[in-house]
Structure 1
Amino acid sequence: MTVTIPIIETERLILRAPALSDFDTMCDFYASDRATYVGGQMKPEQVWRHLACEIGHWQMLGYGRWSVDEKSSGKLAGNIGLWNPHGWPEPEIGWDLFEGFGGKGYATEAAIAARSYAYDVLGWETAISLVHPENHASRAVAKRLGAQRGEDYTHPRFGTLELWRHLSPAEVSDGGMEAYA
């Protein structure tokens, strides 16, 4: 299957296909403490495999996480989008922001775009986000998106994670978060 990864533009961001050119910035992220709540630090060899996984997810499932560029600087700000690898409890909307890009609302802005794509293009009826219990910033993003806290999910490698259930397509279209974005 050959998949064309769509480019989505928001007010301040460009969501585009992950590419090998993202590797060095991803290495910096996964070598930093910012990676603590998204699987932990990785060496470059592991980051290369992770980037290949991000690209392969699109090819295998027809959707995935986008590389997110900040329009004003052209810099890679993070990886945000749709994720559902083997062993995941349900399709997820996930976000990882790189150093210097947190606290600007970028995760929320890109996650709203990703959720709209999941609902409007892919026909999803629901989505979750998994949040490490100590990742207060990620929890705040889930809340800003209108997600509701569900039961904990225990992943065999990542441990206990909070499960946050997103608004349904009907709730979004009836005045959910997109109505105010």
Structure 2
Amino acid sequence: MIPTLTTDRLTLRAPRPEDVAPFAAFYASDAARFVGGSRPRWETWRYVCEVVGHWHMRGFGRWIAARRSDDAPVGLVGLHHPEDWPEPEIGWMFWETGRGFATEAARAARRWAYREAGLTTLISLIAPDNTLSIALAERLGGVREADFTHVKFGRMGVWRQPGPEEI
């Protein structure tokens, strides 16, 4: 039920068991500080299962972004709307950075959200000191709109993404 999308350099696909190892390495790194902090491999496994379950519960969700050249996972991107989120979000976590993968993947996910999932609005929730994600949100045309405080993740900026008529 999880569609596969392709871009020039990436395949956005359903998570697989072998994706847990690189995802766990991300969660063991300092980069995880912006997404709830580090977590052990067993908890990363559960999180990947949560990503898959979100598709079942909402009809949309996040993909593993993998290089088309070798299918190596480089990040997670897509749509997220748990019960405690204010609106559907387009979000990203990339362990290979500085190559434009996140921008390429986020644009493809946003197009799918509007054209296939029927969503009409998207936000990105970003920790105030996550300068890389803020820069990506702005590259995508996002505009800082407000703050949102989450019980676990604390204060985050709400970045309003362009709507379907603007992309």
* TM-score bracket for the superposition, by shorter chain length: over 0.9
Deviation at 1:56, TM superposition (A): 0.6
Q: Identify which of 84, 88, 92 aligns with 1:91.
A: 88
1:112 paired residue number: 107
TM-score (norm 1): 0.90
1:37 paired residue number: 34
Q: 2:64 aligned with 1:67, yes or no?
A: yes
Q: Identify which of 134, 138, 141 aligns with 2:136.
A: 141
Q: Identify which of 41, 58, 66 aligns with 2:55.
A: 58
2:161 paired residue number: 166
Cα-Cα RMSD? 0.8
Q: Distance in 2 between matches of 1:157 and 1:128?
A: 19
1:123 paired residue number: 118
2:20 paired residue number: 23
Contact 2:142 2:161 in 1 (8 A): yes
Q: Distance in 2 between matches of 1:122 and 1:75?
A: 26
Q: Percent identity?
A: 46
State the secondary structure of the residue aligned to 2:39.
Answer: coil
User: What does the per-residue CA deviation read over 1:102-145, in whole Å, with 9 as the maximum and x for residues that have no partner?
Assistant: 01111111010010001001111110001111110000000000
Contact 2:14 2:64 in 1 (8 A): yes
Deviation at 1:73, TM superposition (A): 3.6
Q: Which runs of 4+ in 1 moved over 2 A?
A: none
Gaps of 5+ in 2: none
Deviation at 1:72, TM superposition (A): 2.7
Q: Identify which of 9, 12, 28 aligns with 2:9.
A: 12
